[in-house]
Amino acid sequence: MLKFISNKGGGESVDFETAILDGFAVDGGLYVPEELPEITLDQLKEWKGLGYVDLAFEILSLFIDRSIVSEEELKDILKTAYAPFEKEEIIPLYPLKTRKDTFIMELFYGPTISFKDVGLAFLVNLVNFFLERRKEHLSVIVATTGDTGPATAYFAAGKSNIDAWVLYPKGLITEEQERQMTTLQHANIHPVGVANCPDGGDDLDAVISKFYANKTFKEKLNLSSVNSINWGRVMMQTVHYFYGYLQVVDEVGEKVNMSVPSGGFGNLCAGSLARKMGLPIKYLVAANNKNACLDRIFSKGEFTKEAIHETASSAIDILIPFNFWRYLYFSIDKDAEKIKNWMDSFKETGNLKFDEETFETYKKGFLSNSATDVETLTLINEIYTSENYLLDPHGAVSLQATDVLKQQLGKEKLICLATAHPAKFPETIKKALITKELPTQATHQSIEIAKKRCEKVYLCDYDHLEEALMHAMETNWDLTKGA
């Protein structure tokens, strides 16, 4: 049976179910599989004609022991998870007309029209499956910079075994993203708008970490998370890399490049692990905005926390790419002691410079770039004007990086990940297109419906968040669980 361990080396190995329900490992590290499965070219050839859900079944089966989730149970979970998606293919790929062999992977056809639906559709349904079997209740807590919260809330809504607490930095996400959380009237969904967060969503992650460290509180509320700290998210996100690859290649074995708009490195971590498993990716591009946390890591070897900038691509306004530690663990031959020392050092100082050998090792196969808002908006306008195709600001960051890095990337086919629907960013789209009226491509029925619904939300100032949220969560638990 494949077991899971902390990338910091603490605690015992656990089974898949425990890793999923715990979220963080007992020592505060991130769960990783003891071994990554190896996928051969022959397997990829066999999978070439599979649809997304069938491909997901094959890949997830490499990580999930049949004694924990049976073949039939896994198929049922996948079928339920992806039933609400708009497109039959789940993830369409759009070939750009203005750039040869360049494809936009449209990851935004789930219910909350962002790529977070792709991972959370499966993960939340999987968590609920385990809870129903155990007859247990879980308090799920996540911090969001715009997309994780709505997806978590949607898939958890109405599930009697889950209370979902979704924290967001008030004023630092769009009203459209906010309303996707606050207009859900289900009793088990608890949006929390937090004002005055100096470091945006990273501040919320810090408070959540304190809750995990509070053993009494964590055990009373049966606390867990479905943020990308949860192995289930990263595991599920490996699938769309395999799917995109198999959709665009003429012959299995040829290499492709993939560009990912990224802040927290969860999506990119999945891509890096897919490559380590055997997917023929030449370069993964870490496409940053002005916050540049990953650009500093891959161009300078520096893991640093700097002042946050509000940008047009707000979902990747992140300072601490936490999943980088998961990727780094596999890049340095699973040396957990080094990971622990680096993580602890960064936590204490907020600054880390990797040694030259480590830097050269982990940056292999990676390129990076930081896009300005002007570049992002200009590219949205260019693509819309030239081919009547509308990128969201994060997809534009992804494509902008490849334009800058064109010579280094070479002539291989290129897949740029577009991680949200333009309808989530109407003011940014208006600014980019220099118009007061949104084109049809920048609207979506779900967004329009949410504008007309009542909102339900907890409001709190960051200075009081830890105490106030603990009180709210404990009060809700006592009232609803009959304590």
- Give the catalytic positions in this structure: 116
CB 126, CB 156: distance < 8 Å: no
CA dihedral 338, 339, 343, 346 (to 10 degrees): 50
User: In 10 A of CB 71, how many CB atoms?
Assistant: 11
Q: At which residue do the structure tokens 């998961």 appear?
A: 326
| Under 8 Å between Cβ of 399 and 383 | yes
CB atoms within 10 A of CB 102: 20
Paired residues of 427 in beta bridges: none
Buried/exposed 436-472: b ≥16 CB within 10 Å, e otherwise: eebeebbebebbeebeeeeeebbebebeebbebbbee
Residue 234: closest CA among 380, 400, 19, 53: 19
